[in-house]
Structure 1
Amino acid sequence: MVAQAEGAPGGTATTDGSRLRVGDHEIDIARRVVSRPGNGGTVRLTLKSLQVLLALVEAEGRVVSREQLLAKVWPNTLPTDDVLTQAVAQLRRAFEDSREAPRYIETIAKGGYRLLATHGRVGPEPERGTPAAAVQETAASAAPAHEVVAVPVPQAPRRASRAPAFALALVALVPIAAGLFLWQARNPVPVAAAAAPTGAPPAVQYQAIASTPMRERAPALSPDGALVVFSRQAQPDGPHALYLQPPADASARQLTFPGAGAGDQLPAWSPDGQRIAFVRTGAGGCRIMLVAATGGSEREAGRCEDGHFAAFDWTPDGRALVMGGRSGGTDQSAPLRRLDLASGRWDVLRYEGAGIDTLPRYSPDGQWLGFRRGTSLGDLWLMPAAGGTPRQLTRLHGDIRGWDWLPDGSGLVFSLIKEEARLYRLTLADGTITGLPPLGKGNPIHPSIADRAWAMTFEIDRFHSGLYAFDLDGPGDAGGHGEPVFASSGVDMMPAISPDGATLAFVSDRSLAAQLWIGEIAQPQTLRAVPGIVPVPRHPPVWSADGRRLLVLGATGKGGDRLFEVDVGLDTVRVLPVPGVPAFAAYPPEPGQLLVGVDGGGGRMRLVRYQLPEWRELASVDDVAVARYDHDGDRVCFTRPARAGLWCADPSLGKVVELSRTTPVPDQYREWAIAGGRIFSTGPAPGCATAWAEIGGKADGTARCLSRLHTVVAGSTSVDAAGRRVYLSLPLEQNVDVGWASLQPLRGTGAAGASD
């Protein structure tokens, strides 16, 4: 028997353990049926809703966080934020409960959920684990492992040029779940449960269709899937132009001719497939250009706003382009922007709660606009095409490298980089995320899917990098690599040199899997991999001032990243229980404290100073991309995600001073280092791919060339505390090809079936 919660309806369990009483309602666990009191009838729950209920029952009135529920009910997956919201909403409907005046399930702001009603069983408890696990087994014969909901949502007329006719009937029956969420929030409608296919995701086979020694980038598939356009160098080390070819290993024809000193990139097809928009940089500045798909003269549609450009999409009517938010704002946001093709004028897209928003994509029916929000901790969001309040689709908190809609609007495919780059499918009807088959050799990024054909193209990034040391007291580089360190044939990146300059930690796949490696530079035989951690290649490890410990961001295998601390020498690893999702960290000089960048909600990050071991928040700064501690200057310095420049704060994070307004730019927010109280950037300079220049000092702007030909791998710069030697990860081989895949195996697998 469970004591009745204050103010909750009474009731006790009255069955043999396969039935549960919650308040005045009785639940048949095996059948997933809720019987309402009196003659109120019955309601059938989805499997996931029932598992959420049993997890709340198991907590015995304690608050269960959203993260705990997602991990328990959706283990080993990448669940979206809304699957839990919808599961709780179905429970409230079944119990005839109210969110505003709850008698059964209470929502705890920024906390989770708590079961208020008295609950209990009669008879022996199940012997197969927790209630949530038990119901998984009990209900296995009664329902498939995943369930979806279908709601009749009014649909706007579809654009004939954007989707096949059969999709009209499909969408009328099974609207995408994002539309379901947005509509249902305003217009409650009946919900019918339906079954989705089970088993392994359908097999998708990949092939390379453009694999020359040149780098082919940003492929885009025409609406009918008949042509691929991509950017490629016309000759080695030359500018990029656009090329067209069929989706097969065939010769490509040059489409644009940028001229001397210019280059073309980021092509995008118009909804009717007649035109291609692209970005031209170099001679003449930065411009948005248009060219007919059949070739011919190119015309300027508008200038890049403040020289900024990013990935973009055509509006459904073909009259404008929508681009990712530009940098330079002062309100800590970068909203999507619209270029009117008739006037060449830019305007901010009007919608509520803009964040750092990029990668816009309109749904095939033109009703919805999706985008990525955030940088290091990115997620996918959705809003009506006409504007409104965006709704979060995923809870990935990760590095999303491109995404696109499936042709029928039932889901999408995105590229996510964790310990490896991989393509995933998000089924919008039930919020499930499943991995597509691994590519094998190379990283699949920037997928592009045809509007009217089940086919996809993407970049295949094949990469090999090594670690090199440069003496800053010596002469500048004349085009060489510097001195190799711990050479291998894999991908070595994210170096971090110890404060005394003796030991190097870095991330490498030299063992055919991503691992943290540590070794003394003067004694190569000491190099070893640290067991018990799978590093996330986002930021390099961070040394403590005494060189005894390392902070490393790593993957847990449960869909989320965690902060690990490594005891160097013993090579022991422990997980630090950071509140929220960590993105980076640093050691301040005070013992028992830690600086951590955590998810601040809405795609933004906060820099928080914690008191350990209770993880009490001492101070914080909003809108931080990455922060590092300057032990010589006793200050915390950081970049911002949507604004160029560098800022430093006092140790208490109270007073913030702008050190630079121009360097680094947002795309290079990680490319800076601190040595001897001075801050340096590693970025391109005229005639130099990787230069070393001081930020905000006497030598501000004076660049020293480290590598004339090779650009440092993102986030892979480290300098010793004395500022005498810098370590870089430089690409030895990098070839970017175009891949293609038929998505027919995914066709029809994301739709809901008949109601049960």
Structure 2
Amino acid sequence: MAAQADGALGGTAVAEGRWLRVGDHEIDIARRVVSRPGDGGTFRLTLKSLQVLLALVEAEGRVVSREQLLATVWPNTLPTDDVLTQAVAQLRRAFEDSREAPRYIETIAKGGYRLLATPAWILPEAEAAVPAPVVQETAPPPQEAAPVPPPARGPGGGTARASVLALALVAIVSLVAVLFPWPSRGPAAVAAAGAPAEVPPPVRYQAIASTPMFEQAPALSPDGSLVVFSRQAHPGGPHALYLQPPAEASARQLTFPGDGAGDQLPAWSRDGRRIAFVRSGAGGCRLMVVAASGGGEREVGRCEDGHFAPFDWSPDGTALVMGGCSGGPDQAAPLRRLDLATGRWEALPYEGAGIETLPRYSPDGQWLGFRRGTSLGDLWLVPAAGGTPRQLTRLHGDIRGWDWLPDGSGLVFSLIKGEARLYRLALADGAIAELPPLARGNPIHPDIADDAWAMAFEIYRFHSGLYAFGLDGATESGAHAEPVFASSGVDMTPAISPDGSTLAFVSDRSLAAQLWIGEIAQPQTLRAVPGIVPVPRHPPVWSPDGRRLLVIGATGKGGDRLFEVDVGLDTVRVLPVPGVPAFAAYPAEPDQLLVGVDGDAGRMRLVRYQLPDWRELASLDDVAVARYDRHGDRVCFTRPARAGLWCADPSLGKVAELSRTTPLPDQFREWAITGGRIFSTGPAPGCATAWTEIGGKDGEPVRCMSRMHTVVAGSTSVDEAARRVYLSLPLEQNIDVGWASLEPLRPPAPAGASD
């Protein structure tokens, strides 16, 4: 796979200088940032687009053929022509150029491309005089791809997802929200449907920490003057916490975890004097507190059952509140409180717990908000003193972080609904408005200062490819990987047909999220299926005869629907599933269907339907994802908040526990069924992606698929003969820290008011 990874930028070009001027634009080579003249802002290039530009610069005005560019920028791969078209299109957007009347890049019919503008290297000695550009992200044009990452896995058995995939490609989806009355100091608000569209406020984004290492889980101090985040001290080393003012480029190390341990998920106390965080690895999993000025690290409690997740300080600073740990056989995962004085955990006093995560206290300390549900989640709130939770949104979406605005007038959340975007919810009228998108990358896990209108967030950038592994040759030292339908975009959720001949998957290689189908032995058969915008949380599901596919797709009306694709004709029809579907499977009976639908309190229900009237025959609660085992005539599934795997009879009546430990909750999709056997593609010691049988014989050797790369979430498929497994693996990924002033969101002061 080394041949698939992005290479160096080109020795000749980079050696001449760090800055390049093309026409009246300047390019920071190291950061891949194009500075536009005047007040035009900046534009972030992909690595491939920059490599194409450098190849055109080196040609000194000569025409460079498409074949030469493909061979230079995508060596040792089988790229499609659209990857080059995409790269050139991004360069034209960066230079504000036109294909019809070009000033920078000219298209030569049946020839290639030529650079029209005069390039000039800015010498290193002049570099100090060049102001560093501010990375002001601009809105992408229609159908620009914005891939979303797979979840980063925490060490051990925790669910420390400081970042994320599910994933996202481009899908133009309307956001429809139904809000419950807001029991706050402001007027009650009920929006029966989505609020009217608004012009996005002029929020400007900056990347303030952007090293090659992952900078994760940023949190702003209450006054907004400092950001703390988790980062490796050196490549391959443990994570530690770092402090950095938003206006500066250098960070100082705050914590020193020691050998075999790592620090993550920092959170500021309300007084700004302390930072709590999770330390896991050597010594187990512990909640720690450190002085914001540095030093005095101390343990305040142990992780409950080894579990950890994002948390918040109580308003009085005496406790930490965390959610997401299964509380018993009913699979509820209630919010829990860690008392800092005693180190003991206790359940918070509220009614009807579901799968709760991402707790956040309101600025006045009167309310506690949280996300209920996982991939089909919503925001809820409960009085801080306890009581009955109320549902705040009806998004049924993948919410990747949220926080209150400083005055409590609303909140900002990240939602993956086709792609990751930031949204503002105004509590006065229930309106939901989209904030300006990033030009490149996915904004997730926003964190807003308590007393300043400023926000930090993660910027996740991602590129993945599909690979086939021969299981017969897999050993503990690794397996041979063969690229499949290679591209420079995000390829994921592969599904191999029952006979092993045809692969269906989701990709943004055409600059939009589409379902692609092609025969492995005949790459020229690869084509996109029109009429569907797939939501790639789970792979497509083949019918037993290989003629149809079940796919979850987005609709222009905001809700996800279940589609059935006729593979021979590439026709698409909507299946009228009651409720909001998340996944589906074909059982043995041709007139029945298994569907995971959104249930009460954010819990997923697995329902067996009788067709064509969609009559409910049986159901199971708290199912994260289910798959049908044709050989064993059973339905196997994982739970959303508990490690393990269960199987039920076809009627969903009798349930047996197959494993108590595998897969872990944050790997609930990383398993596959073939020939009546169930395999996991989770990590193993010394191996990022291993192939092991769940419930198999003890002592069987682990077959390592990839030592370096963790499989993209939900992207495992194996043929019926268990000869080849297909995986989506990350080829390029990085997480940076972004920052933005939220002053444009501040409500105007009442007439006559003064600071």
TM-score range for the pair, normalised by the shorter chain length: 0.7 to 0.9
Q: 1:340 to 1:305 in 2, by over 3 A?
A: same
| Aligned-partner SS, 2:681 | strand
Q: 1:555 to 1:198 in 2, by over 3 A?
A: closer
Tell me the distance in 2 between the aligned counterparts of 1:231 and 1:177: 38
How far did residue 200 of structure 1 move? 1.6
Q: 1:702 to 1:367 in 2, by over 3 A?
A: farther
How far did residue 238 of structure 1 move? 1.4
| Aligned-partner SS, 2:524 | strand
What is the match of residue 454 of structure 1? 453
What is the match of residue 354 of structure 2? 355
Tell me the distance in 2 between the aligned counterparts of 1:314 and 1:562: 38
The Cα offsets for residues 353-393 of structure 1, whole Å up to 9 and x where unpaired, read as: 00000000000110000000011211110010111000001
Tell me the distance in 1 between the aligned counterparts of 2:577 and 2:549: 15
| Aligned-partner SS, 2:275 | strand
How far did residue 201 of structure 1 move? 3.2
Tell me the distance in 2 between the aligned counterparts of 1:482 and 1:426: 46
What is the match of residue 39 of structure 2? none
Of 167, 172, 176, 1:78 maps to 176
| Aligned-partner SS, 2:688 | strand
Aligned length: 578
Q: 1:289 to 1:175 in 2, by over 3 A?
A: farther
Tell me the distance in 1 between the aligned counterparts of 2:748 and 2:693: 54
What is the match of residue 664 of structure 2? 665
8 Å CA contact 1:470, 1:482 repeated in 2: yes
The AA in structure 1 aligned to 2:236 is D
The Cα offsets for residues 335-358 of structure 1, whole Å up to 9 and x where unpaired, read as: 011101111111111210000000
Tell me the distance in 2 between the aligned counterparts of 1:455 and 1:694: 48
What is the match of residue 537 of structure 2? 538
The AA in structure 1 aligned to 2:504 is A
How far did residue 569 of structure 1 move? 2.0
8 Å CA contact 2:217, 2:230 repeated in 1: yes
What is the match of residue 604 of structure 2? 605
8 Å CA contact 1:240, 1:263 repeated in 2: yes
What is the match of residue 226 of structure 1? 225
Tell me the distance in 1 between the aligned counterparts of 2:197 and 2:750: 12
What is the match of residue 693 of structure 2? 694
How far did residue 288 of structure 1 move? 0.5
The Cα offsets for residues 54-109 of structure 1, whole Å up to 9 and x where unpaired, read as: xxxxxxxxxxxxxxxxxxxxx94421242xxx6xxxxxxxxxxxxxxxxxxxxxxx
Q: 1:410 to 1:464 in 2, by over 3 A?
A: same
Q: 1:699 to 1:504 in 2, by over 3 A?
A: farther
| Aligned-partner SS, 2:305 | helix
Q: 1:302 to 1:79 in 2, by over 3 A?
A: same
The AA in structure 2 aligned to 1:455 is A
8 Å CA contact 2:478, 2:703 repeated in 1: no
Tell me the distance in 2 between the aligned counterparts of 1:694 and 1:480: 16
Q: 1:328 to 1:525 in 2, by over 3 A?
A: farther
What is the match of residue 12 of structure 1? none
Tell me the distance in 1 between the aligned counterparts of 2:227 and 2:197: 33
How far did residue 479 of structure 1 move? 5.6
Tell me the distance in 2 between the aligned counterparts of 1:427 and 1:730: 39
The Cα offsets for residues 493-533 of structure 1, whole Å up to 9 and x where unpaired, read as: 11111111111111111111111111111111111111111
Identity of aligned residues (%): 83
The Cα offsets for residues 475-499 of structure 1, whole Å up to 9 and x where unpaired, read as: 3274677111111111111111111
| Aligned-partner SS, 2:683 | strand
Tell me the distance in 2 between the aligned counterparts of 1:390 and 1:710: 40
What is the match of residue 296 of structure 1? 295
8 Å CA contact 2:473, 2:480 repeated in 1: no
The AA in structure 2 aligned to 1:597 is G
The answer as to 2:432 corresponding to 1:334 is no
**Superposition TM-score, scaled by structure 2 size:** 0.74
| Aligned-partner SS, 2:666 | helix
Tell me the distance in 2 between the aligned counterparts of 1:751 and 1:315: 31
Q: 1:270 to 1:618 in 2, by over 3 A?
A: same
How far did residue 329 of structure 1 move? 2.1
The AA in structure 1 aligned to 2:260 is G
8 Å CA contact 1:327, 1:666 repeated in 2: no
What is the match of residue 552 of structure 1? 551
How far did residue 239 of structure 1 move? 0.9
| Aligned-partner SS, 1:473 | helix
What is the match of residue 213 of structure 2? 214
How far did residue 198 of structure 1 move? 8.4
What is the match of residue 30 of structure 1? none
Tell me the distance in 2 between the aligned counterparts of 1:702 and 1:431: 56
What is the match of residue 472 of structure 1? 471
Q: 1:657 to 1:491 in 2, by over 3 A?
A: same
8 Å CA contact 1:467, 1:492 repeated in 2: yes
The AA in structure 1 aligned to 2:643 is A
The answer as to 2:307 corresponding to 1:308 is yes
Q: 1:725 to 1:480 in 2, by over 3 A?
A: closer
Tell me the distance in 2 between the aligned counterparts of 1:273 and 1:441: 32
Aligned ranges 1:98-109 → 2 under 5 Å: none
What is the match of residue 413 of structure 2? 414
What is the match of residue 505 of structure 2? 506
Tell me the distance in 1 between the aligned counterparts of 2:459 and 2:248: 14
How far did residue 428 of structure 1 move? 1.6
What is the match of residue 733 of structure 2? 734
What is the match of residue 273 of structure 1? 272
Q: 1:700 to 1:720 in 2, by over 3 A?
A: farther
8 Å CA contact 1:228, 1:246 repeated in 2: yes
Of 309-318 and 430-439, more deviation after overlay is shown by: 430-439
How far did residue 670 of structure 1 move? 0.7
The AA in structure 2 aligned to 1:576 is L
The Cα offsets for residues 696-716 of structure 1, whole Å up to 9 and x where unpaired, read as: 122587522111111111111
Tell me the distance in 1 between the aligned counterparts of 2:739 and 2:280: 27
What is the match of residue 87 of structure 2? none
Q: 1:354 to 1:199 in 2, by over 3 A?
A: closer
The AA in structure 2 aligned to 1:298 is E
**Superposition TM-score, scaled by structure 1 size:** 0.74
The Cα offsets for residues 248-285 of structure 1, whole Å up to 9 and x where unpaired, read as: 35100000111111100000000001000000011111
Aligned ranges 1:111-126 → 2 under 5 Å: none
What is the match of residue 680 of structure 1? 679
Tell me the distance in 2 between the aligned counterparts of 1:329 and 1:468: 39
Aligned ranges 1:74-473 → 2 under 5 Å: 76-82=174-180, 174=186, 177=189, 199-327=198-326, 329-473=328-472
8 Å CA contact 1:597, 1:607 repeated in 2: yes
The AA in structure 1 aligned to 2:258 is G
| Aligned-partner SS, 2:265 | strand
| Aligned-partner SS, 1:547 | coil
